[in-house]
């Protein structure tokens, strides 16, 4: 590993100015049901209403806008479990560039076709993010495309961090922020932004039991690889990258805790979103609900902000979860 890069508050504030008008400033609303249940105000950052259905548009837009005109003309390339691909396809098109997206065969079909529809070139390779990444490396070195990775890049982390600035603006006394965690771009950016303004606030990363690469890496003290398994929270799949430069160190230094959620708990979160909050969220976007409902946030200090990070779930799967199925992937994962 080379020396880690940390993303500064200034970089996040610059990103906020750069992407203003190009991404939505999503609403922040109080949840009556969770505030009552937890005994402290619980606010919801409705980022699943973001254009392309997830926060990934913030980082992708900041990254594309940070390129030189010559780099933009060559086009961008990334490996993606779906939402980064969508976001990069949209951002590249919006700024007059082109995107090539590589992804593993584990990515659900609804996400693949959506990325094609957004105008990107799609390449399906291998059974893991790491294999898809090898194709990205090849396209970058052989064809000169510019790599824009899903999380481990300063411009991506700064873009995702703009969410943290908005949360503190909308809930100035926030004490606990619950943030979905996979590669850590979102958690690193949000933690840096929130703690710059509210040094005592706790930022807790939430992820699924099945394939929690960042949790395993933090415990090992270095990025480690773990096996990927199908999960309701498919957007939280993928490794952290063995040569991680930005997000591992930032998550290690800035996150107060990482909490793991079972498939049953994530399903309960998706149902809560739908039945109590009247929101459709994907598994990754429901982990905040899952953690609060399961009582897994210890010594709760309010006010709490929960990030609903995305809504790109297959609607057939969503219906099955709403109808009571808790673990649609049990057999595949066994």
Ligand X SMILES: *Cc1c(COP(=O)(O)O)cnc(C)c1O
Please say which residue, 72 or 108, places its beta carbon nearer to ligand X: 108
Residues 68-127 that bind ligand X (CB under 6 A): 83
Pick the stretch among 26-34, 259-267, 278-286, 321-329 that binds ligand X (CB under 6 A).
Answer: 278-286
Q: Is 68 an annotated catalytic residue? A: no
- Taking the C-alpha atoms of residue 184 and residue 150, their distance in angstroms, rounded to an integer, is 10
56 binds ligand X (CB under 6 A): yes
d(CA 171, CA 45): 10
Candidate list 31, 217, 262, 309; residue touching ligand X; CB under 6 A? 309
Best CA proximity match to 50, nearest among 196, 159, 148:
159
Of 43, 149, 223, 310, the one binding ligand X (CB under 6 A) is 310
> Could you give the C-alpha distances from 321 to 239, 272, 280, 328, in angstroms and in order?
26, 11, 11, 8
Give whichever of 42 and 186 is closer to ligand X, judged by the CB atom.
Answer: 186
Q: In this chain, which of 185, 211, 223, 239 binds ligand X, going by CB under 6 A?
A: 185
Residue 309 annotated in active site: yes
Check binding of 177 to ligand X (CB under 6 A): no
Number of C-beta neighbours around residue 119 at 10 A: 12
User: Strands 28-30 and 42-45, how do they pair?
Assistant: antiparallel
54 near ligand X (CB under 6 A): yes
Asked whether the bond before 303 is cis by omega within 30 degrees of 0, the reply is yes
Contact stretch for ligand X (CB under 6 A) within 61-69, 183-191, 268-276, 317-325: 183-191
Catalytic residue, candidates 56, 111, 195, 215:
56
Where does this chain touch ligand X (CB under 6 A) — which range of 69-77, 97-105, 265-273, 279-287? 279-287
Q: Of the residues 80, 128, 217, 309, which is catalytic?
A: 309
Spatial separation of the C-alpha atoms in residues 129 and 238, rounded to whole Å: 5
Ranked by CB distance to ligand X, the top (closest) residue is 310
For the record, the structure tokens of 283 come out as 């598994």
Q: Which residues contact 72 (CB under 8 A, 6 or more apart)?
A: 64, 95, 96, 97
- In DSSP notation, 63-87 reads HHHTS-HHHHHH-EEEE-SSHHHHH
Rule CB under 6 A: which residues touch ligand X?
Answer: 54, 56, 83, 150-151, 180-187, 235-236, 282, 284-285, 309-310
Residues tagged active-site: 56, 309
């Amino acid at each position: 590993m080379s020396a880690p890069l940390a993303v500064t508050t200034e970089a996040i504030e610059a990103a906020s100015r750069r992407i203003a008008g190009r991404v939505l400033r999503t609403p922040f609303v109080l949840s009556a049901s969770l505030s009552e249940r937890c005994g402290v105000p619980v606010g919801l950052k409705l980022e699943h209403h973001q254009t392309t259905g997830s926060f990934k548009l913030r980082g992708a837009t900041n990254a594309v806008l940070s390129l030189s005109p010559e780099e933009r003309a060559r086009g961008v390339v990334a490996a993606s479990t779906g939402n980064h691909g969508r976001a990069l396809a949209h951002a590249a098109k919006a700024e007059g560039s082109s995107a090539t997206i590589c992804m593993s065969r584990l990515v659900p079909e609804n996400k693949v076709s959506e990325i094609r529809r957004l105008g990107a070139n799609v390449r399906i390779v291998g059974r893991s993010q790491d294999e898809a990444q090898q194709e990205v490396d090849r396209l970058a070195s052989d064809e000169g495309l510019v790599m824009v990775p899903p999380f481990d890049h300063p411009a991506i982390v700064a873009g995702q961090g703009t969410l943290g600035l908005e949360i503190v603006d909308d809930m100035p006394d926030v004490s606990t922020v619950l943030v979905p965690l996979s590669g850590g771009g979102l958690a690193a950016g949000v933690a840096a932004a929130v703690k710059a303004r509210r040094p005592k606030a706790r930022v807790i990363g939430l992820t699924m039991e099945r394939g929690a690469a960042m949790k395993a890496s933090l415990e090992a003290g270095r990025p480690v690889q773990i096996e990927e398994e199908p999960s309701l929270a498919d957007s939280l799949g993928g490794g952290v990258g063995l040569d991680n430069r930005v997000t591992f160190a930032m998550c290690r230094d800035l996150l107060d805790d990482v909490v793991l959620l079972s498939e049953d708990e994530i399903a309960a979160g998706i149902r809560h979103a739908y039945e109590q909050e009247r929101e459709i969220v994907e598994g990754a976007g429901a982990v905040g609900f899952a953690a609060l409902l399961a009582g897994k946030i210890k010594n709760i200090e309010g006010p709490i902000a929960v990030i609903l990070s995305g809504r790109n779930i297959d609607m057939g799967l969503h219906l099955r979860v709403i109808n009571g199925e808790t673990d649609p992937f049990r057999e595949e994962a066994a």
